[in-house]
Amino acid sequence: MTLRTIVLASALTLAPLAAFAEWQVDPSHTSVTFEVSHLGYSTLNGRFNTIEPVVSFDPDNIEATEVSFTIDATSIDTGWAERDGHLNGENFLNTGEHPQITFVSTSVTETGENTADVTGDLTLLGQTQEIVFAATLNQLGPFPFNPDMQIAGFTATGEIDRTAFGMGFGAPVIPAVIPVTVNLELTSQ
């Protein structure tokens, strides 16, 4: 067997491994945002500035995807420090006792060509409830400015009933059900 034959055989054997990419979360293009009606007069938009997502993603087997988020609840940002202080207090997030919000997926069910339901356990204020996010694969392909890099972008939406976690302050005048949007980008090389 010649060296050329050995190299060619090795290259063919390793080719499937090269096709499998390791995906990393791009924190600069990942966010968790929410909106709340202010007594019906206006809509308040907010976000959490410190989130740590972990994603296991195989584009050829979407239902094997695993997603988890750890959110620093104290990083809530509604654009007004006084309100953020109130939201960190005992009436809402009670971050003195519960500084983190976590989500851990338990299943991913494909619902369409580019959509899936992500079911998981959300822990907020020390209580855990099952919730479902409707996820959409926005785009998957090479990065226009670096064709050696692949990017996958997702948007997931869901609703959290804050009263189910014991956060009843102001309900129903301040709505119990809060729409949440997660935007997530993954990159690979």
Query: Residue ranges of the domains in the chain?
Result: 21-188
Of 5, 108, 8, which is closest to residue 64 (Cα–Cα)? 108
CA atoms within 13 A on the CB side of 45: 4
Q: What is the pTM of this model?
A: 0.86
DSSP β-bridge partners for residue 122? 103, 129
Does domain 21-188 fall under CATH 1.10.8.60? My reply is no
pLDDT at residue 27, rounded to an integer: 95
Span 110-152, pLDDT tens digits: 999 999 999 999 999 999 999 999 999 999 999 999 999 999 9
Among the listed residues 49, 167, 69, the one whose alpha carbon sits nearest the alpha carbon of residue 118: 69
**Cβ within 8 Å of residue 55, ≥6 positions away:** 23, 25, 65, 66, 67, 68, 184, 186
Mean pLDDT along residues 171-182: 96
What is the band of 22 on the pLDDT scale with cuts at 50, 70, 90? confident
Other residues' Cβ atoms within 10 Å of the Cβ of residue 118: 22
Q: Are 77 and 45 in contact (CB under 8 A)?
A: no
DSSP summary character for residue 184: E
